[in-house]
Amino acid sequence: MLLPDHDLIGSLLIRYRDLERRMLADPTHGENRSLFEDAAYTLCVLLGQRTAREAALEAEKYVRQQRHARAGRAEGAAPPGGSAPPPHPSLR
* Domains of the chain by residue range: 6-75
Query: Residue 87: CA atoms inside 13 Å, Cβ hemisphere, count?
Result: 17
pLDDT band at 72 (very low <50, low <70, confident <90, very high): confident
pLDDT one-digit tens code per residue, 25-68: 999 999 999 999 999 999 999 999 999 999 999 999 999 998 88
Write down the pLDDT at residue 18: 97
Contacts of 52 (CB under 8 A, 6+ apart): 16, 40, 41, 43, 44
SS3 of residue 57 by DSSP: helix
When pLDDT is cut at 50, 70 and 90, the band that residue 77 belongs to is low
Q: What's the chain's length in residues? A: 92
pLDDT at residue 70 in the model: 79
pLDDT over 90, % of the chain: 63
**Per-residue CA distances from 39 to 12, 33, 51, 53 (Å):** 7, 10, 12, 12
Supply the pTM of this predicted model.
0.71
Distance CA 84, CA 50 (A): 32
More confident residue, 4 or 25: 25
